[in-house]
């Protein structure tokens, strides 16, 4: 028998009110924790995937689309650029590393990316099993691709034209899995990597079935053909201003900075997050009000109980703490439920998400969530402060002589 | 044990009551008699440390009750005085045994589970230990409140109109219970009442 037991027994006695208050707090905290987790994970993903990439060069169009398609592999590419122009840029003295990308096909929704070895250097990829691709039609797959499509080394599969769906399958050539990448926790887990030649082969055969290339010509990755985009790393930060301007003004291509576009994207999402955040705060405020009202109303009946406890020798401060504790207990239980709801909801959202690239999970926690428990404590004590103050006003003698 | 000297109280409305001096020895049993509204409850509240009198002093075991701090008085009341109200005020959300334990917890005394069970047994309600107040009859509730008043082995047992809502049979039982329990637990007893049925059980009377 202690204060905890007295409070919880009293809460159990008023089940419905207690449940309502817990639900209100839980919803507020739940929404906030979803927001915290989701914005944290999205932010992390954006940052991680764009790490070390200073600039993306691609066909003219929306810079955001260019970034989304060639770094995050979410949107469709803006178009193609001549490989020769890209090659020239890649050898610009300001460029430290240039990674060509040739997109266009997918396998079960996982994008097949034609590139060269610089890609694996850029992302610091390492092999879990097997080898990197070497020849045409050899692929190295990301860890998520391997686990969800159950492809093993030596397996072969057909790519489908387009970036989603299995409609138009390239039946002429099959890819062979040569290796599986270590999980990196970024976009490369969801990619199928091959050389650019393979991507050309897929598409050339379709249009120019009569022609037969010599194997030497095929091995040459960058010739007079087209690629989708070029990921660029600068030699020095100085180039940040010069290089994009040069690309945008003197070539028929556009340069987009991942940092700027990600920030823009985040500010667009941010409006929604802000709104939801206010909504959650609003719910929490209602929860506080509801706890306040129920405690305050209950004080009429409890005044009696509290007067008895005073008679039994309890000091005012003890009873003050008792009432405070009830409010705090409700909000802390509510906050814990809220965190559970938040994580569970995010996990469910993640499970139903179409795009495997930006999958959300509820199985991680962020440090801000600790604040949510503190906020619960704060709201609980705020809401129960005024009812608890009543303790100091109760006239025991008068209360006890009156009938219940 | 209890010494009341030149005590008087002025109500908010200006009415003044003067209480005759009163000396209660250890294990004395007294009736506090008087018509309704003549200040019986007021005097009981003053003795239990719930209401500060306008004038006079009250010594319990040589402690001047109203010289204690608010907290000290709460504690003193919890440990030395057991109060039985006209209506048995139990905490509804707690069962009978928990209500008894509450008395110990509130007075910051250790919980003596054995003694609590024994008290319930002496009062013939040990079968109700796990029941909640809402499930009990008036008579049973009154017994529980007697048990609760005895939990901390008080020196003084105060009962305010304990029989007014009971029939003859129950009233006689409650008086019997109070006198024997007070005796068995070594406590002095004050019963405030205007109930004529009680008079025959207790000799000493203090008339207001």
Owner of token pair 């940052």: A47
State whether A366 and A243 are in the same domain.
no
Per residue in A242-254, pLDDT (tens digit) is: 888 888 888 889 9
- Residue A224 is predicted with a pLDDT of 60
Q: Are A137 and A238 found together in one domain? A: yes
Residue keyed to tokens 């007014």: B164
Within a domain: residue B65? no
Q: What is the pLDDT of residue A220?
A: 44
**Listed residues A215, A238, A256: the one ending a domain:** A256
Closest by CA position to A64, among listed A268, A265, A249, A267:
A265
Check residue B123 and give its pLDDT.
86
Helix or strand holding residue A16 (H, E):
helix A15-50
Min Cα–Cα distance to chain A from B101, Å: 7
In terms of C-beta density within 10 A (0-12 exposed, 13-18 middle, 19 or more buried), how is residue B27 classed? middle
Instruction: Give the domain extent around A17.
Output: 3-46+265-401
Which residue has tokens 């897929």? A202
Clarify whether residues A211 and A158 are in a common domain: yes
Task: Tell me if A397 and B41 make a contact (CB, 8 A cut-off).
Answer: yes
Do B78 and A312 count as a contact with CB atoms less than 8 A apart?
A: yes
Distance (Å) from the alpha carbon of A377 to chain B's nearest alpha carbon: 24
**CATH number for the domain that contains residue B100:** 3.40.50.300
Strand partners for B58:
B4
Could you tell me if A172 and A291 lie in one domain?
no
In a domain, B44, yes or no: no
- Note whether A176 and A202 are same-domain residues: yes
B186 pLDDT more than 60 = yes
Residues of A in contact with B106 (CB under 8 A): 309, 312-314, 318
DSSP per-residue string spanning B25-47: -TT-EEEEE--TTSSHHHHHHHH
pLDDT 10s digits, B75-134: 888 889 999 888 888 888 899 999 999 999 888 889 999 999 998 998 888 899 999 999
* Shortest alpha-carbon distance between residue A286 and chain B (Å): 27
Q: Are A309 and A1 in contact (CB under 8 A)?
A: no
Burial tier of B59 (Cβ tally within 10 Å: 0-12, 13-18, 19+): middle
Q: How far apart are CA A77 and CA A89, in angstroms?
A: 19
- Cα torsion at A88, A90, A95, A98 (round to 10°)? 170
Looking at the predicted structure, is the pLDDT value of residue B162 above 70? yes
Q: What confidence score (pLDDT) does residue A58 get?
A: 92
Closest Cα in chain B to A3: B105
Give me the residue from B42, B70, B106 closest to A309, CB to CB.
Answer: B106
The answer to whether the beta carbons of residues A327 and A291 sit under 8 Å apart is yes
**Residue B13 falls inside a structural domain:** no
Which chain A residue has the Cα nearest residue B72? A315
Count of CB atoms situated within 10 Å of the CB of B178: 26
Same domain flag for A75 and A110: yes
Residue A109, classed as helix, strand or coil, is coil
Q: Which of chain B's residues have a Cβ under 8 Å away from the Cβ of A318?
A: 106
Q: How far apart are CA B146 and CA B174, in angstroms?
A: 9
- Tell me if A312 and B48 make a contact (CB, 8 A cut-off): no
Provide the percentage of residues in chain B whose pLDDT is more than 70.
100
Contacts of B52 in chain A (CB under 8 A): none
Indicate yes or no: CB of A311 within 8 angstroms of CB of B48. Answer: yes
Q: Are B106 and A12 an interchain contact pair (Cβ–Cβ within 8 Å)?
A: no
Nearest one of A326, A398, A322, A390 to B105, comparing CA atoms: A322
Stretches where chain A sits below pLDDT 50 are 206-222, 404
Residue B127 in any domain: the answer is: yes
The answer to whether residues A250 and A280 belong to one domain is no
B174 in a structural domain: yes
Pair A239, A294 in one domain: no
Question: Considering only alpha carbons, which residue of chain B is nearest residue A400?
Answer: B85
Give per-residue burial for A265-304: e unless 16+ CB within 10 Å, then b: beeeeeeeeeebbeebeebbeebbebbbebbeebbeebbb
How many structural domains comprise chain B?
1
Query: How many independent structural domains does chain A possess?
Result: 2
In a domain, B119, yes or no: yes
For residues A275 and A212, membership in a common domain is answered with: no
What is the span of the domain harbouring residue B131? Answer: 28-35+70-207
B201 has pLDDT over 70? yes
One domain for residues A218 and A274:
no
Where a domain ends, among A256, A288, A308?
A256
Q: Which of A313, A399, A400, A404 should we substitute to test contact with B (largest number of B Cβ atoms within 10 Å)?
A: A313
Using pLDDT thresholds of 50, 70 and 90, give the confidence band for residue B144.
Answer: very high
pLDDT at res. A205: 52
- In tens, the pLDDT along A373-388 reads 898 888 889 889 988 8
Residue B93 within a domain: yes
Do A287 and A390 sit in the same domain of this protein? yes
Q: Which residues of B touch A307 (CB under 8 A)?
A: 89
In a domain, B53, yes or no: no
The ipTM value here is 0.86
User: Out of B42, B90, B94, whose CB is closest to A9?
Assistant: B94
Question: Which of A256, A291, A313 delimits the end of a domain?
Answer: A256
Nearest CB neighbour to B102, from listed A304, A307, A312: A312
CB-based contact B87 A404, cutoff 8 Å: yes
The pLDDT score that the predictor gives to residue B172 is 85
**A304 and A165 inside one domain:** no
Distance CA B197, CA B170 (A): 11
């Amino acid at each position: 028998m202690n204060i905890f037991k007295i409070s919880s027994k009293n809460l159990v006695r008023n089940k419905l009110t207690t449940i309502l208050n817990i639900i209100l707090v839980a919803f507020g905290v739940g929404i906030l924790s979803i927001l915290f987790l989701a914005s944290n994970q999205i932010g992390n993903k954006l940052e991680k995937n764009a790490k070390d990439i200073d600039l993306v060069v691609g066909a003219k169009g929306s810079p955001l689309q260019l970034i989304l398609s060639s770094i995050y592999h979410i949107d469709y590419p803006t178009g193609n650029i001549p490989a020769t122009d890209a090659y020239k840029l890649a050898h610009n003295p300001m460029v430290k590393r240039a990674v060509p990308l040739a997109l266009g096909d997918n396998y079960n929704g996982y994008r097949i990316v034609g590139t060269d070895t610089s890609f694996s250097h850029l992302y610091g990829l390492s092999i879990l099993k097997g080898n990197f691709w070497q020849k045409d039609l050899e692929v190295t797959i990301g860890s998520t691709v391997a686990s969800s499509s159950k492809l093993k080394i030596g397996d072969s599969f057909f790519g489908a034209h387009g970036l989603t769906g299995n409609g138009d399958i390239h039946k002429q050539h099959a890819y062979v899995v040569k290796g599986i990448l270590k999980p990196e926790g970024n976009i490369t887990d969801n990619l199928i990597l091959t050389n650019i030649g393979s991507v050309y082969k897929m598409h050339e055969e379709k249009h120019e079935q009569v022609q037969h290339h010599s194997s030497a010509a095929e091995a040459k990755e960058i010739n007079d053909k087209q690629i989708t985009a070029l990921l660029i790393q600068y030699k020095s930060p100085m180039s940040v201003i010069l290089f994009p301007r040069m690309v945008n003004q003197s070539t028929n291509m556009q340069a987009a900075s991942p940092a700027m576009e990600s920030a823009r994207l985040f500010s667009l999402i941010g409006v929604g997050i802000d709104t939801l955040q206010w909504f959650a705060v609003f719910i929490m405020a209602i929860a506080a009000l509801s706890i306040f009202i129920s405690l305050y109303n209950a004080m009429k009946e409890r005044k009696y109980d509290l007067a008895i406890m005073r008679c039994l020798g309890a000091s005012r401060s003890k009873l003050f703490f008792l009432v405070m504790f009830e409010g705090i207990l409700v909000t802390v239980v509510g906050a814990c439920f809220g965190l559970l709801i938040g994580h569970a909801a995010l996990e469910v959202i993640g499970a139903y998400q179409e795009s495997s690239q930006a999958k959300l999970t509820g199985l991680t926690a962020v440090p801000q969530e600790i604040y949510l428990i503190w906020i619960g404590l704060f709201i609980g004590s705020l809401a129960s402060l005024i009812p608890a103050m009543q303790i100091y006003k109760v006239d025991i003698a008068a209360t006890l002589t009156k009938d219940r | 044990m209890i010494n009341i000297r030149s005590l008087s109280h002025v109500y908010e409305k200006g009415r003044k009551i003067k209480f005759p001096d009163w000396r209660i020895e250890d294990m004395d049993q007294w009736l506090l008699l008087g018509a309704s509204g003549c200040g019986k409850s007021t005097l009981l509240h003053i003795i239990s440390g719930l209401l500060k009198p306008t004038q006079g002093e009250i010594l319990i075991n040589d402690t001047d009750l109203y010289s204690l701090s608010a907290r000290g008085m709460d504690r003193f009341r919890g440990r030395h005085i057991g109060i039985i109200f006209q209506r048995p005020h139990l905490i509804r959300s707690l069962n009978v045994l928990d209500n008894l334990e509450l008395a110990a917890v509130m007075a910051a005394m250790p919980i003596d589970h054995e003694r609590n069970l024994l008290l319930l047994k002496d009062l013939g309600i040990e079968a109700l230990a796990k029941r909640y107040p809402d499930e009990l009859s008036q008579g049973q509730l009154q017994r529980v409140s007697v048990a609760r008043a005895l939990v901390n082995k008080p020196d003084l047992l105060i009962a305010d109109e304990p029989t007014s809502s009971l029939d003859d049979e129950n009233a006689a039982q409650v008086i019997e219970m109070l006198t024997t329990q007070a005796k068995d637990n070594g406590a002095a007893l004050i019963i405030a009442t205007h109930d004529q049925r009680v008079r025959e059980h207790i000799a000493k009377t203090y008339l207001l």
